[in-house]
Amino acid sequence: MIMKKNIKILITSIILICLVFPSCKKNFLDKAPGVDINEDVIFSAKVQTEKYVANMYQLGMPSIFAMRPADMGLGANAVTSTLGVLSTYVNLAGITDEAINSQSNDAAPSAWNNGGVTNANILLEDLRYYLRWQAIRTANILLERIDEVPDADATYKNQVKGEALFFRAINNFEILKRYGGFPLVLKRVTSLEESKIERSSFEACVNSIVKDCDDAVGFLPLDQPGATKGRAQKGAALAVKARTLLYAASPLFNTATPISSFGNATDDKLISYGNYSLNRWKIAADAAKEVLIWAQAAGYTLVDDPAKRINTISPTVVNLVVGNYRDSWEKNDNSEIIIANKTWGSKSAGQFPLPMLLPRTEFVPNSGAGWNGPSIIFNHVRKYEKRATGLPQDWNYAGGNDLLQKYAELDPRFAQSVIFTGARMHKSVVRTPIGEHTPSKSALNSCQGGHWNLKFVNDGIDAGTGLEVNCPILRLNEFYLAYAEAMNEFEGPGVATPINITGTNILTAQLPAIPNSALDAVNKIRLRSAMPAINTSNAITLRSRIHNEWDIEMYMEDHRLWNSRRWLEAENDGVLKGSMWGLVINKLNDVAPYPTAFSYRPFVFMTRSFPTKLYLHPFVLSEVQKGNLKQNPGW
């Protein structure tokens, strides 16, 4: 795609970071020697400025996948010695009730799951901590000097201003969701004294992010067509604003009494508003609706082919499940992706990030991965409802002999997200063997959860074939869910537009692109996967259904950890704490080409810890010791 080519050309042209950016091991706001000389070159011509903008995309764009320094375009030594980022990688699904990361050196999930997170090792999760400050500094320099570029026209200058504001906003949001209030850096810092910025209140940080997004909308085009496809547009800025306001309205922050308190009202405003306001939910709903209105104007829509609402098996590809949900995550640059991380490029099954998504070859022959991707656990699988009724599946915790029947009855998104016994993984594994492991096998090689991950594994991939990895950062489906959640909290479910999805009606049923109620918004998401509409007048019931819909629809997209914290549900048994369940699966016959019946028995393979103080990250100890950062409570 043009988007891919354009962003990749920019990224491969990036000037060496260590020549342009500060040494984070001293202070993340320190100025680098010689930066002014390099800047004069950067802003001497548009072609040079473009390299600097590309640098900002490389440093500042989040990723939903496990990353290594090389994947971020940085050499391991440069990252460790210059930027202070740890040379490691992490799949956050293994911290949550989505998965278990069975790779032995996944230090971050191990620390989280065992209650071992400290203010010294928190960067095992927050790998991009220092990179965010670099991206913010880059954005501030661009805002300061872009008007100096002699051969750039006003349109280009406005575009860059909008991009800089967008990247400052999205990186500030990534800090906010982890730590609460943080030092607001809204201009270039040029001295050591200036760099000693204290934390701003949570409210001030939210307001700053929202202002940056609003200002970015004023500079950015409605969409990015042609050669600029893939760069930030109005929708990206509106989406960051909506995401920020949804988090801000949520129980973790929208409260007078934070769950982990400093013990005084003044400091508590660093990590919360210090009061509760119902209207914050309305503000969040309005922001999500802005995204949906923009999408309609810009031609963005949910991936929803009525013929693909119900799972079908491809007539030409063995055992390939086809459906809208799969298209939404497998097809790059599809109609619902607002912005994506395009730094990954073409990857084979053995190249990152796929080894952290696929099982290792010794457990699943021909998978192509030498590492071990997440085993999807029963805690997640049991969230999928029955397609026919929309009710929970009636799993027997004593076990049963009808596993394949149970799977066949589930929400179509299950078979488009999760690899179960006998399911297709990709073109080199058309039947995945799960059913011979037992809880006694080693964590490294066994599929403890009873399932592997399918999502983001392109069917054309194998050990030798490279395909572009789809890494969406902002998708339209998120903002239907955000609108549903916020409107339900503000005014309740509202009135559902009647729809009939029985029989051939599934091919014609439609709901408005701009929802009229919380029910319409969540049912819009469910409709494209032929799931029965929710219809309730009880806001508490709908809250639970919407939370479950988040878990299904946004699975493996780096939402579950943060949602469980902002909802104050992380300590609930089976979420980030307590019993993690897998399935013992055994075949019941040897029918060729693959057994037709399997037994299952749920079992607890792990009991996880989650201390209350971990609803917020601690700031890394080395930064707190510099004196300007007040540490979060309990750390």
pLDDT in tens, 565-598: 999 999 999 999 999 999 999 999 999 888 999 9
pLDDT of residue 438: 45
> What pLDDT shows up at residue 92?
85
Least-confidence region, from 37-51, 190-204, 313-327, 404-418: 190-204
Q: How many whole angstroms separate alpha carbon 435 and alpha carbon 451? A: 10
pLDDT at 255 over 80: yes
Least confident of 121-125, 327-331, 335-339, 382-386: 121-125
Residues 6 or more apart from 503 whose CB is under 8 A from it?
Answer: none
Model pTM above 0.95: no
pLDDT in tens, 109-119: 888 898 899 99
pLDDT at 73: 56
DSSP state of 392: B
- Which one has a higher pLDDT value, 316 or 165? 165
Could you tell me the pLDDT band of residue 313, with boundaries at 50, 70 and 90?
Answer: confident
Residue 5 scores a pLDDT above 80: no
pLDDT tier at 224, thresholds 50, 70, 90: very high
Q: Picking from 442-456, 568-582, 602-616, which range would have the lowest pLDDT averaged per residue?
A: 442-456
Does position 2 have pLDDT exceeding 60, yes or no?
no
Give the residue with greater pLDDT, 314 vs 625.
Answer: 625
| Mean pLDDT of all residues belonging to the chain | 87
State the pLDDT at residue 68: 67
What are the pLDDT digits (tens) for 42-84?
Answer: 999 999 999 999 999 988 999 898 776 666 555 543 444 334 4
Best mean pLDDT range from 120-129, 392-401, 468-477, 624-633: 392-401
Torsion sign, CA atoms 534, 482, 480, 331: negative
User: What pLDDT score was predicted for residue 107?
Assistant: 63
Instruction: Measure Cα distances from 210 to 56, 239, 313 in Å.
Output: 20, 10, 45
Q: List the single range of 19-28, 148-157, 166-175, 237-246 with lowest mean pLDDT.
A: 19-28
Which residue do the tokens 């320099």 mark? Answer: 141
Higher local confidence (pLDDT), 466 or 471: 471
The residue with greater pLDDT, 91 or 418, is 418
Percent of the chain surpassing pLDDT 70 = 87
Mean local confidence (pLDDT), 502-510: 94
Task: Region of 571 please: left (phi>0), alpha (psi -120 to 50) or beta.
Answer: alpha
pLDDT digits (tens, 9 = 90+) for 373-386: 889 999 999 999 99
Whether the predicted pLDDT of 127 surpasses 90:
no
Of 9 and 96, the one with more pLDDT: 96
pLDDT band (50, 70, 90) for residue 356 = confident
Q: Is the pLDDT score of 421 beyond 80?
A: yes
189: tokens are 């810092």
* 2-236: in CATH 1.25.40.390: yes
Q: What tokens does 219 get?
A: 């500079």
State yes or no: pLDDT of 86 exceeds 50: no
List beta partners, residue 53: none
For the ranges 22-31, 268-277, 513-522, 538-547, the lowest mean pLDDT is seen at: 22-31
Q: What percent of the chain has pLDDT over 90?
A: 68
Backbone dihedral angles phi then psi of residue 533, each to the nearest 5 degrees: -65, 145
Mention every residue, 6+ apart, whose C-beta is less than 8 A from residue 489: 249, 278, 281, 539, 543
